[in-house]
Structure formats: C-alpha cells, structure tokens
Amino acid sequence: MSQDCIFCKIIDGELPSRSVYEDEDVFAFLDVNPLAEGHTLVVPKAHDPRVGGLPDDVAAAVFTAMSELTPAIERAVDADGMTVAVNDGEAAGQEVPHVHGHLVPRFEGDGVGPIHSLQWARPDLDDAALDDVAESIREAR
Ligand code: AMP
Ligand code: ZN
C-alpha cells in the first residue's frame, strides 16, 4: 500500500468506489469520470506504478480479470465492443500512478475510432529502421 495513492485507498476501503470484481490479486471498479457507460478500471491490489514492475502472476491475474469482465460489461451496458487500454507512464497520459487497465465499452457508430486515431505524430520508419527497433527491443529484454 502506498500512503498517498487513491487507488490503494479505494482497494483498502478508505475511499468509496463502485466495485464490480475482486479476487486475491485484483480489484475492479467503475471509473468516476467515465468515457462511456460501464467504463471500468482493473487494478492489481499491490501498489505498483508501472506495468513493467508487475510480477508475472499479478500481470496474468489482471489480464485474466479484464478478459472475464469484458463480456460481462458488454452484456450489462449492451455494448458492441471494448477498448482495452493502459496509460503506462506520465508521457502516456497516466495520471494515477498505480497500474490500471481501462475497459471502455464501445458502441457501433460511437464515432470515437481506434486508439490509432489519437493525435500521433507518426514516425517515418523504413524496413531497415523497423528491423533495428525490433532487434533493440529483443536485446533490451
Ligand atoms: P489514467 O489517466 O490512465 O491514470 O486514468 C485515471 C483514471 O482514474 C481516470 O479515468 C479517472 O477518471 C479515474 N479516477 C480518478 N479518481 C478516481 C476515483 N476516486 N474513483 C474512480 N475512478 C477514478
Ligand atoms: Zn496504489
């Protein structure tokens, strides 16, 4: 538990939430400022700011919970799909530094588009540059 983390306080019951799921490692609750009806946050119970810090079993538990919740949320709000996303790190827009997966229900014709429709300044990478990036990632693991 991190003392000044709002999600730790929610998990602990110090702050209120509309919880929708709980198991040994994972807690899930409605986003207080939803992007769509049913917008849910799925969090590991143990405080960790970044995806890369999660132990394997916790990462698996978070994704398993997201997989279980997705069809349930779709049924509950009659959604046609789900955007499953994590803002990981301040540069990616993360505001609460406790890992959380966003489950945002999507509806035919909602006009939002895929995450590709964010205002990316796309890099111009040729095949050789893409090969280099892939190799760098493999080597950095
Ligand atoms: P992010 O920008 O990925 O860090 O998202 C943080 C999310 O947490 C936002 O969608 C907020 O609406 C949501 N949020 C912040 N405080 C609360 C809270 N007390 N209960 C539920 N959701 C919250
Ligand atoms: Zn926390």
Q: Is the residue at 26 inside a domain? A: yes
pLDDT score recorded for residue 120? 85
Is 100 an annotated catalytic residue?
yes
Q: Is the residue at 118 inside a domain? A: no
4-21 pLDDT, tens digit per residue, is 999 999 999 999 999 999
Q: Is the residue at 127 inside a domain? A: no
| Paired tokens of 57 | 């079993």
C-alpha dihedral (101, 31, 4, 88), degrees to nearest 10: 30
Other CB atoms within 10 A of residue 24 CB: 8
Residue nearest to atom 17 of ligand 1 (CA): 32
pLDDT score recorded for residue 100? 98
Q: Is the residue at 129 inside a domain? A: no
What's the total number of domains in the chain? Answer: 1
pTM of the model: 0.94
Catalytic residue, chosen from 39, 47, 98, 100, is 100
37-64 pLDDT, tens digit per residue, is 999 999 999 999 999 999 999 999 999 9
pLDDT score recorded for residue 2? 80
59-112 pLDDT, tens digit per residue, is 999 999 999 999 999 999 999 999 999 999 999 999 999 999 999 999 999 999
Q: Is the residue at 57 inside a domain? A: yes
pLDDT score recorded for residue 126? 95
Domain span holding position 100: 6-113
Decide whether any atom of ligand 1 lies within 6 Å of the 93 Cβ. Answer: yes
Q: Is the residue at 136 inside a domain? A: no
For the chain, give the mean pLDDT. Answer: 95
C-alpha dihedral (111, 115, 117, 122), degrees to nearest 10: 180
Tell me the CATH number at 82.
Answer: 3.30.428.10
Q: Is the residue at 63 inside a domain? A: yes
pLDDT score recorded for residue 80? 97
Q: 1 pLDDT exceeds 80?
A: no
Q: Is the residue at 88 inside a domain? A: yes
Residue 96 alpha carbon to ligand 1 centre in Å? 7
| 126-132 average pLDDT score | 94
